[in-house]
Amino acid sequence: MFPIGDTNVRGKGPGYLTIGLIIVNVLIFIFQLTMSLPELEAFFYQYGVQPVEIVAGEDLHALVTSMFLHGGWAHLIGNMLFLWVFGDNIEVTLGRLLFLVFYMAGGFAASAAHIMVDTGSAIPSIGASGAIAAVLGAYVVMFPRSQVKLAILSFYGFWITRVTAILFLGIWFLMQFFIGLASLGVPTQQTSGIAFWAHIGGFVFGLLVGFLARGRARTLQFEQDNAYRVRY
């Protein structure tokens, strides 16, 4: 089950910055594909977030660079799909410049949460999921009634359904939270390599920003509700 769209009114024009972020992530991943496995491992250690190094005040550049690295096709596609579906709405609400600041700050908050619970780890953490989790947190506050289109693939076939954003993203966050609690004290490499507390930290940061910006979001939600009534 994965999101493929939403019914939220996006405002004037597409989310150009959201598209730009996706393009940058894809281009960097293509660059990664040109590396041998030893080169790629060294690349991740140089540009991924290693909590033990950050705590020591070293390799601080990784707080930025780690957000644009991915460990495989599934990692990349999953993150970019969530960014594509939810990012443009937040970009339109905040404006491009503020959205970029928010996105990067969300990534920093996610890394901070990961570092706090796994301070001594030397395993590099990579991926845009922390910053994207911030986008999800803001979205669920700004557009809780929006309908998220979900594609469901099972042994019985493939179909598309819709659920409210607050239900879908609420369940997503609760899964991250409870798995994160269960993984406390467990090295990241033993939790399928997923930094759950980065997701939690990013999402909570997004919630806080969402509450601050929800006035503008209510205007867009009103436009959405009116458009939905006219259309159906």
Instruction: Tell me 148's DSSP state.
Output: E
The pLDDT, as a whole number, for residue 80 is 97
Q: How confident is the model at residue 41 (pLDDT cuts 50, 70, 90)?
A: very high
Q: What is the CATH number of the domain that holds 140?
A: 1.20.1540.10
Model pLDDT for residues 156-168, shown as the tens digit of each residue: 778 899 999 999 9
Q: Show the domain range for 153.
A: 2-231
Question: Model's pTM, two decimal places?
Answer: 0.88
Model pLDDT for residues 76-116, shown as the tens digit of each residue: 999 999 999 999 999 999 999 999 999 999 999 999 999 99
Q: How far is CA 163 from CA 5, 94, 200, in A?
A: 11, 24, 22
Q: In what order do the strands lie in the sheet with 157-164?
A: 2-6, 147-154, 157-164
The pLDDT, as a whole number, for residue 230 is 42
Give the whole-angstrom CA distance, residue 131 versus residue 142.
17
Phi-psi region of 6 (alpha: psi -120 to 50; beta: other; left: phi over 0): beta
Model pLDDT for residues 171-211, shown as the tens digit of each residue: 999 999 999 998 887 666 555 568 899 999 999 999 999 99
Number of domains the chain contains: 1
